């Protein structure tokens, strides 16, 4: 049997499975072994279940045996971020407060993944309730960067990024509220996309900030990513914010690259605070695009400077309400020391939530309080509209916006824990697009001298994931040549 | 002593909508049964669930707004009301705040003297019901039943236009009546289908400024609402008279003791941190949708009242009773139209039928209205006496058979045959010769006795007018003998 499946793309593995060279069970076993041996070090998975995975793989092999092939990635294992419900498996959100909680239904996207015949192999680590940029805020410990295990993986979908980058699974699903898919993708050197708000059903995704949360896939290259995006996208009547628009076959349109697409370079994304290596790598890409005769346009997104502030007001406000249900009454963690109803709430939540989550709940509660609502929440919502308008104006001149994904490469553990503000600024380039509900992705664009990956961000118009993926494909090919 | 003061009252009425399913999930809204059986991940607030608005609940709300002449807004927004309580699984209630479905409108109430008063509404909005806690079953813990959680609720908020417990009572009765006409609520107050919060302050009569108000929470009985308002009004007047000040507080009615008790002070009042519900889109209600709903509106109580007066010419009091419920009004209308005897129909419905439905619901009564109509026709045509009609009706209540069938089977048809009645009259008089003599000597009160005897002999079937005449003639004949 062929070994080194981790060096193959998902579609290559699928092709082998579909032509019966190998079985889905064998592939699944292979990756389970990889997880067994690598996870103790990397900590990308919170849980994985041999029996659960193999019984799916067996069923899928049977379907393939009777030529019932429902997707080009059928039979390939996929990892799911542990804030997404997979019926029968635990959902921890990397929080103590959900200890012992087992999902009672499948998320909308999990239904699609099952229909497409992918094998759910395990649940990946994250910052508690997806709140963080480094994946250090997990009750189950931080995720290490598989490229350099002294560095953080990025967050909050650090487990998904590290699992794919570390060859523990060829495909993974994350979620992105303010950069949680793109940042770890950049830090771990894999492509990942956060599609338009409403493109993928949020039903079954544990809410952090409902108006910003969006699920996003990870893969080893842009083609796999495009294929996975086609599988998980689509309207879900149970999610009122999901939009019924056609789902293109993304993989089929990649080859046209940046042909005929204008790329906007926003000056606000290239200011102070970018690490030199990141600036050089991104500028390199821009130079190459120029050589490729891609039309580059200088644009301005003046409200960018407000986006981190606006994001943290709105996201925390929604989070303070979304996390109210974890109260120790019906499920999850309940404190042992309870004398009264107040104790039940107060002690369960104080003991069940981690520092960062509590910080955000308090900030969010504050900005919604009587007397502060207008100054914070209402004003943030107004600026959010301005940010959206900014993007709309920019998109009159271009189809794509290009920027670094993060001002830095993966940093050291503990480096930003002491300074929450510095941690929040890791998201400076990624928070604006979620506020506008538009698609954005990170694609690898080189490495710094120590070998740490650098990510480049492409932002597109609402529901124009095609252009974003085409641009990423173009850059990916360019990097192969370089 | 109390008369120089008056109460100023505003109500927040909650009406449970009787949609088949809950407001944000597919669970049934039925009442009763085992706890926690009509629940699903959505109404239990499990991680990852999302609400999905029930269009029927919106339509029911639009009906209420149209019936009270409010303005339906083309765009409204759901908002989260955040607070912790074990009957609230999500830690917030999805309600409406800055942008409710409707504003304005009014309800006309009428007191027993027929005086009308217009009670303005400030808003109508849609929200979800919470679960129910049981504290008395066990001393160590409380129990939670989440069956009720997510039942759609319409909240109607009035302006402070009410001035007495009687007016509050009339207003609530009217709301209940309208909701019943619209068929949007079971109207069952014991089951909590209609509840209200009462805002009440007192002021000197003639004073333009309102006093500080207190709120009495969660009342669900018309009787107790009256008592609670009267108690609270008197206690506020006492405080003011003794030089005290009312502070803005929330009270609870203790029905065992019959007093209102402090629940929380203003300082303890919750900050609900309302903000727009991000899991739901803005609620858009197009003019076309409103028109579609308007077309489904039934005739409303006030219209029906006016029409009954016009069409049937029966007394206002009767019309008031008959239109108090839509089912009763519909029932009466069939009886009246079939019998073509509106006054008689009204009497029968208000006396005989109402007596029967005191115990049960009108929908469960076996007597079909058209059958009662036929019975009344038979009375009017003299085919059956009123007395036998009552027996026939009793039989109809018992078996549901129709009047003609019963009359035929039981031989209850009225005797209008002059010769037959003469025969009975003669027989009665012959058998009571002593009494006849006494009568002829002037004891005229005995006429009723003879009449009764004749009726008894004919099992009440003899036509009374005829008996009267023949009896008189026969007695006169005997005067000469
Ligand atoms: Zn439910």
Contact list, B44 vs chain A (CB under 8 Å): 330
- In this prediction, residue B3 carries a pLDDT of 66
Are residue B304 and residue B181 in the same domain, yes or no?
A: no
Residues 185-214 of A with CB under 8 A from B: 202-207, 209-211
What is the ipTM for the molecules in this complex? 0.96
Q: Note whether B125 and B29 are same-domain residues.
A: yes
8 Å CB contact of A329 and B86? yes
Dist. CA B39 → ligand 1 center (Å): 4
Residues B345 and B437 in one domain: no
Q: Which CATH number is B425's domain given?
A: 1.10.10.410
Give residue B481's pLDDT band: very low, low, confident or very high (50, 70, 90): low
| A415 lies in some domain | no
Q: What are the tens digits of pLDDT across the range B212-244?
A: 999 999 998 988 999 999 999 999 999 999 999
Instruction: Specify whether B155 is located in the same domain as B303.
Output: no
Lowest mean pLDDT across A433-447, B60-74, B279-293, B420-434? B420-434
Q: Rounded to an integer, what distance in angstroms lies between the CA atom of residue B169 and that of residue B156?
A: 15
- Give a yes or no: residue A141 inside a domain: yes
A465-481 vs A222-232: helix crossing angle, rounded to 10: 160
Residues B175 and B155: their CA atoms lie apart, in Å, by: 11
pLDDT recorded at residue A237: 96
Q: What pLDDT is stored for residue B164 in this prediction?
A: 95
Q: What is the pLDDT of residue A2?
A: 52
CB-side exposure of A328: number of CA atoms within 13 Å?
A: 21
Q: CA distances (Å), B302 to each of B110, B308, B309, in order?
A: 10, 10, 11
Q: Is a pLDDT exceeding 90 seen at residue B311?
A: yes
Is any Cβ of chain A less than 8 angstroms from the Cβ of B138? no
- Please state the length of chain A: 482
Position A63 in a domain = yes
Confidence of residue A7 (pLDDT cuts 50, 70, 90): very high
Contact A240 B86 (CB under 8 A): no
> How sure is the predictor about A430, in pLDDT bands with cuts at 50, 70 and 90?
very high
Among B292, B307, B337, residue at a domain's last position: B292
Position A481 pLDDT exceeds 90: no
In the predicted model, is pLDDT for residue A160 greater than 70?
yes
pLDDT interval class at B455 (50, 70, 90):
confident
Residues 154-183 of B with CB under 8 A from A: none
Number of Cβ within 10 Å of residue B20's Cβ equals 11
B81: chain A residues, CB-CB within 8 Å: none
Predicted local confidence at residue A46, as pLDDT: 98
- Give the range among A35-49, A113-127, A148-162, B219-233 with minimum mean pLDDT: B219-233
**Shortest Cα distance from A232 to chain B (angstroms)?**
17
What distance in Å separates the CA atoms of residue A64 and residue A23, rounded to the nearest whole number? 9
What pLDDT does residue A3 have? 66
Which of B354, B380, B410 is the C-terminal boundary of a domain? B410
Whether the CB of A325 is below 8 Å from some CB of chain B: the reply is: yes
Q: Which residue has the higher pLDDT, A463 or B459?
A: A463
> In this model, does residue B138 exceed pLDDT 90?
no
Classify residue A204: in a domain, yes or no: yes
| Cα B152 to middle of ligand 1, angstroms | 12
pLDDT of residue B407: 82
Last residue of a domain, one of B410, B443, B472: B410
Residues B248 and B308 in one domain: no
The residue among B126, B129, B125, B131 whose CA lies nearest residue B151 is B129
Tell me the C-alpha distance between A26 and B74, whole Å. 58
pLDDT at B175 over 90: yes
Cα(A111) to centroid of ligand 1, in Å?
Answer: 20
Give the number of domains in chain A.
1
Q: Decide if A341 is inside a domain.
A: no
Residue A331 Cα to ligand 1 middle (Å): 17
Q: Say yes or no: B362 and B448 in one domain.
A: no
CATH number, position A217 = 3.90.1300.10
The whole-number pLDDT of residue B414 equals: 75
pLDDT of residue B149: 97
> DSSP letters along B137-160, please?
S-SS--EEE-TTTT-EEEEEEE-S
Please state the rounded mean pLDDT for residues B66-93: 97
CB B146 within 8 A of CB B22: no
d(CA B357, CA A386): 64
Q: Which residues of B touch A209 (CB under 8 A)?
A: 278
Please answer yes or no on whether B50 and A317 come within 8 Å at the CB atom: no
- Mean pLDDT within A134-159: 97
A106-112: average pLDDT: 98
Q: Which A residues, 361 through 380, put their C-beta within 8 Å of a C-beta on chain B?
A: 365, 368-370, 373, 377
Q: Do B278 and A211 touch (CB under 8 A)?
A: yes
Domain holding B429, by residue range, is 418-480
Q: Note every long-range contact of B82-85, with CB atoms under 8 Å and residues 24 or more positions apart, other chains counting.
A: B82/A320, B82/A321, B82/A324, B82/A368, B82/B272, B82/B273, B82/B274, B83/B270, B83/B272, B84/A324, B84/A327, B84/A345, B85/B130
Q: Residue A75 domain-assigned?
A: yes
Q: How far apart are CA A332 and CA A355, in angstroms?
A: 18
B84–A320 CB contact, under 8 Å: no
Quote the domain boundaries for residue A37: 5-249
Residues of chain A with Cβ-Cβ distance to B53 below 8 Å are 240
* Residue A404 in domain: no
CB of B51 within 8 Å of a chain A CB? The answer is yes
User: In chain B, which residues have their Cβ closer than 8 Å to the Cβ of A239?
Assistant: 50
**A272 vs A408: CA distance, rounded Å:** 12
**Residues of chain B found within 8 Å of residue A211, distances taken between Cβ atoms:** 278
Same-domain pairing of B136 and B114: yes
Q: Which of B50, B93, B141, B271 to mutate to test the interface with A (most CBs of A within 10 A)?
A: B50
pLDDT digits (tens, 9 = 90+) for A317-328: 999 999 999 999
Q: How far is B122 from chain A (nearest CA, A)?
A: 22
Average pLDDT (A9-31) is 97
Q: Of the candidates B84, B86, B278, which has its C-beta nearest A324's C-beta? A: B84
Does residue A364 have a pLDDT over 70? yes
Question: What pLDDT does B1 receive?
Answer: 46
Taking a 5 Å cut-off on Cβ, the residues next to ion ligand 1 are B 25, 27, 40, 42-43
Contact B45 A209 (CB under 8 A): no
CB atoms within 10 A of CB B202: 26
Query: Residue B343: which H helix or E strand, with range?
Result: helix B342-348
Calpha distance A91→A110 (Å, rounded): 13
Whether residue B200 contacts residue B246, with contact meaning beta carbons closer than 8 Å, is answered with: no
B163/B26 same-domain check:
yes
Q: Which residue of chain A has the CA closest to B82?
A: A321
| Percentage with pLDDT > 90 across chain A | 95
Alpha helices in B150-221 (DSSP H): 165-182
A240 assigned to some structural domain:
yes
CB contact, 8 Å: B480 with chain A?
Answer: no
Chain A residues near residue B274 by CB distance under 8 angstroms:
368
Segment among A345-354, B181-190, B357-366 with least mean pLDDT: B357-366
Query: For the segment A44-95, what is each residue's pLDDT rounded down to a tens digit?
Result: 999 999 999 999 999 999 999 999 999 999 999 999 999 999 999 999 999 9
Average pLDDT over residues A119-141: 98
Judgement on whether residues B423 and B375 belong to the same structural domain of the protein: no
The lowest-confidence range among A198-207, B185-194, B284-293 is: B185-194
pLDDT in tens, A166-211: 999 999 999 999 999 999 999 999 999 999 999 999 999 999 999 9
Question: What is the tally of structural domains in chain B?
Answer: 3
Ligand 1 centroid – CA A91 distance (Å): 20
Q: Is A369 in Cβ contact with B271 (below 8 Å)?
A: yes
- Examine the domain organization and report whether B158 and B220 are in the same domain: yes
The C-alpha of A377 sits at a distance from chain B's nearest C-alpha, in angstroms, of: 9
Contact B281 A240 (CB under 8 A): yes
Closest Cα in chain B to A85: B48
pLDDT at A422 over 90: no
Q: Do residues B97 and B245 share a domain?
A: yes
CB of A98 within 8 Å of a chain B CB? The answer is yes
**Beta carbons of A210 and B84 less than 8 Å apart:** no
What mean pLDDT is predicted for residues B16-36? Answer: 96
What percentage of residues in chain B have a pLDDT greater than 70? 98
Q: What is the pLDDT of residue A438?
A: 98
CA B23 to ligand 1 centroid distance, Å? 9
Shortest alpha-carbon distance between residue A336 and chain B (Å): 15
In this complex, the residue of A105, A209, A240 whose CB is nearest that of residue B41 is A105
pLDDT grade, residue B382 (50/70/90)? confident
Q: Does any CB of chain B come closer than 8 Å to the CB of residue A99?
A: no
Q: How close is the Cα of B31 to the center of ligand 1, in Å?
A: 14
Same domain, B171 and B311: no
């Amino acid at each position: 049997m062929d070994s080194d499946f981790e060096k193959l793309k998902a579609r290559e593995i699928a092709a082998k499975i579909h032509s019966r060279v190998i079985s889905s069970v064998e592939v699944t076993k292979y990756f389970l072994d990889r997880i067994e041996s690598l996870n103790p070090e990397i900590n990308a998975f919170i849980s994985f279940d041999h029996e659960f995975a193999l019984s799916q793989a067996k069923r899928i092999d049977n379907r393939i045996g009777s030529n019932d092939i429902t997707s080009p990635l059928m039979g390939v294992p996929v990892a799911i971020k542990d804030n997404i419900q997979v019926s029968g498996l635990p959902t921890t959100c990397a929080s103590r407060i959900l200890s012992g909680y087992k999902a009672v239904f499948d998320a909308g996207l999990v239904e699609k993944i099952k229909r497409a015949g992918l094998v759910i192999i395990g649940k990946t680590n994250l910052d508690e309730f997806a709140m963080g940029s480094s994946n250090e805020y997990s009750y189950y410990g931080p995720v290490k960067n598989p490229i350099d295990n002294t560095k953080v993986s990025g967050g909050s979908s650090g487990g998904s990024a590290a699992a794919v980058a570390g060859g523990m699974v060829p495909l993974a699903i994350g979620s992105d509220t303010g950069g949680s898919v793109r940042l770890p993708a950049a830090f771990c050197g894999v492509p990942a996309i956060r599609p338009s708000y409403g493109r993928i059903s949020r039903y079954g995704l544990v809410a952090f900030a409902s108006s910003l949360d969006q699920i996003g896939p990870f893969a080893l290259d842009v083609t796999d990513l495009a294929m996975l995006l086609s599988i998980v996208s689509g309207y879900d009547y149970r999610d009122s914010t999901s939009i019924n628009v056609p789902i293109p076959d993304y993989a089929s349109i990649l080859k046209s690259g940046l042909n005929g697409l204008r790329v906007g370079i926003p000056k606000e994304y290239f200011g102070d605070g970018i690490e030199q290596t990141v600036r050089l790598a991104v500028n390199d890409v821009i130079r190459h695009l120029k050589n490729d005769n891609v039309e580059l346009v200088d644009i301005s997104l003046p409200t960018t400077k407000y986006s981190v502030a606006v994001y943290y007001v709105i996201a925390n406000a929604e989070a303070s309400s979304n996390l109210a249900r974890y109260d120790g009454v019906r499920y999850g963690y309940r404190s042992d020391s309870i004398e009264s109803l107040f104790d039940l709430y107060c002690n369960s939540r104080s003991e069940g939530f981690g520092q960062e989550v509590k910080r955000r709940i308090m900030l969010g509660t504050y900005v919604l309080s009587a007397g502060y609502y207008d100054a914070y929440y209402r004003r943030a919502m107004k600026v959010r509209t301005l940010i959206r308008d900014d993007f709309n104006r920019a998109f009159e001149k271009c189809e794509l916006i290009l920027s670094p994904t993060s001002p830095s490469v993966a940093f050291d553990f503990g480096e930003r824990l002491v300074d929450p503000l510095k941690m929040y600024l890791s998201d400076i380039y990624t928070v604006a697009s979620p506020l506008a509900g538009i698609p954005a992705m990170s694609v690898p664009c080189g490495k710094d001298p120590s070998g740490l990956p650098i990510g480049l961000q492409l932002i597109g118009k609402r529901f124009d994931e095609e252009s974003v993926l085409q641009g990423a494909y173009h850059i990916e090919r360019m990097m192969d040549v370089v | 002593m109390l008369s120089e003061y008056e109460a100023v009252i505003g109500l927040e009425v909650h009406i449970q909508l009787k949609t088949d399913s809950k407001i944000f999930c597919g669970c049934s809204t039925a009442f009763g049964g085992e706890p926690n059986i009509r629940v699903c991940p959505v109404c239990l607030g499990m991680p990852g669930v999302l609400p999905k608005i029930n269009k029927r609940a919106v339509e029911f709300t639009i009906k209420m707004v149209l019936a009270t002449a409010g303005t339906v807004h083309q765009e409204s927004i759901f908002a989260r009301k955040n607070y912790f309580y074990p009957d609230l699984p999500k830690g917030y209630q999805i309600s409406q705040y800055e942008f409710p479905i409707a504003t304005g409108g009014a309800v006309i109430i009428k007191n027993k003297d027929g005086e009308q008063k217009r009670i303005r509404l400030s808003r109508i909005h849609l929200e979800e019901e919470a679960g129910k806690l049981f504290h008395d079953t066990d001393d160590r813990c409380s129990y939670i039943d989440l069956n009720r959680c997510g039942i759609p609720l319409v909240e109607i908020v009035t302006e402070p236009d009410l001035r007495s417990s009687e007016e509050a009572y009339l207003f609530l009765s009217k709301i209940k009546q309208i909701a019943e006409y619209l068929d949007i609520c079971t109207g069952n107050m014991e089951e909590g289908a209609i509840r209200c919060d009462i805002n009440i302050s007192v002021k000197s009569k003639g004073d333009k400024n309102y006093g500080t108000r207190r709120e009495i929470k969660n009342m669900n009985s018309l009787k107790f609402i009256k008592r609670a308002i009267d108690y609270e009004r008197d206690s506020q007047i006492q405080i003011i008279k003794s030089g005290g000040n009312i502070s803005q507080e929330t009270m609870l009615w203790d029905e065992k003791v019959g007093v209102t008790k402090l629940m929380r002070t203003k300082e303890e009042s919750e900050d609900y941190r309302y903000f727009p519900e991000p899991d739901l889109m803005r609620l858009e209600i197009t003019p076309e949708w409103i028109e579609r709903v308007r077309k489904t509106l039934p005739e409303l109580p006030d219209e029906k009242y006016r029409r009954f007066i016009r069409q049937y010419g029966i007394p206002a009091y009767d019309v008031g009773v008959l239109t108090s419920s839509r089912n009763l009004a519909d029932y009466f209308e069939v009886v009246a139209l079939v019998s073509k005897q509106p006054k008689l129909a009204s009497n029968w419905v208000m006396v005989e039928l109402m007596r029967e439905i005191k115990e049960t619901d009108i929908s469960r009564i076996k007597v079909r209205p058209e059958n009662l109509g036929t019975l009344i026709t038979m009375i009017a045509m003299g085919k059956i006496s009123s007395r036998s009609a009552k027996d026939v009706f009793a039989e109809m209540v018992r078996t549901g058979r129709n009047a003609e069938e019963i009359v035929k089977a039981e031989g209850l048809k009225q005797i209008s045959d002059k010769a037959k009645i003469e025969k009975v009259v003669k027989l009665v008089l012959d058998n009571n010769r002593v009494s006849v003599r006494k009568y002829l000597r002037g004891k005229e009160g005995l006429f009723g006795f003879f009449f009764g005897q004749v009726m008894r002999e004919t099992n009440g079937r003899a036509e009374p007018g005829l008996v009267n005449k023949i009896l008189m003639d026969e007695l006169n004949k005997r005067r000469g003998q």
